[in-house]
Amino acid sequence: MMVRTPWLVAVSLILAGHASVLPAQETSNQAEAAAQLSAESVAKSIGRAEAARYQAAELRVEWLETGSLIEQARKEAGLGHYEKAMALADKARQQGELAVEQYEREAEAWQQRVVR
């Protein structure tokens, strides 16, 4: 009865990993590109993230951290840390998109889990 379920943890980790864009994954090419980032392009990314978040929020399926990621992105952008701000905004946008995908998938998938 009291069986540990590593799969629960494993699934969470996989999903958490899938949904994150880790700065460590950035290559030197990206670093070069980052040097060319402007306040304008960062603002655009933040705008896209905000739009994705909004779409998820409208469906009432927004993820927990998306809003604070955008907030952090704005803060970093304000400090001129464009690379950091971009990574945060992209992560937030991805979260917004994944939440909407999750919602669409669940439109039918939930039926499979009903106890019958």
Partner 1 sequence: MHRLALACLAVALSVTARADPEQDREAFRAYFLQRFPDVPVAEYVNGIYAIDDKARAQWQEIEAFPPYEFAVEQGEALFGQPFANGRGYADCFENGGIGVRQHFPRFDLERGEVVTLELALNLCRMDNGESPYPYESDDLIALSAYMAWTSRGETIDVKVPDDPRALAAYEDGKRFYYSKRGQLNFACSDCHVTSAGSWVRADHLSASLGHPSHFPVYRSKLGEMISLHSRFYGCIRDVRARPLDEQSEEYRNLEYFLTYMSNGLEVNGPGARK
Determine which residue in the list 2, 22, 24, 35 makes contact with partner 1, applying CB under 8 A: 2
Is there binding between residue 102 and partner 1 (CB under 8 A)? yes
Least separation, in Å, of the C-beta of 5 and partner 1? Answer: 4
Determine which residue in the list 26, 57, 81, 90 makes contact with partner 1, applying CB under 8 A: 57
Determine which residue in the list 10, 15, 31, 79 makes contact with partner 1, applying CB under 8 A: 15
What is the C-alpha to C-alpha distance for residues 100 and 96, in angstroms, rounded to an integer?
6
Is there binding between residue 65 and partner 1 (CB under 8 A)? yes
Residues 6+ apart with CB under 8 A from 85: 42, 45, 46, 73, 74, 75, 76, 77
As given in the structure block, the two tokens for residue 88 are: 């945060």
Instruction: Enumerate residues 20-49 that contact partner 1 by CB under 8 A.
Output: none
Is there binding between residue 16 and partner 1 (CB under 8 A)? yes
What is the C-alpha to C-alpha distance for residues 52 and 102, in angstroms, rounded to an integer?
13
Please give the backbone phi and psi of residue 47, each rounded to the nearest 5 degrees, phi first.
Answer: -60, -40
Number of residues that bind partner 1 (CB under 8 A): 33
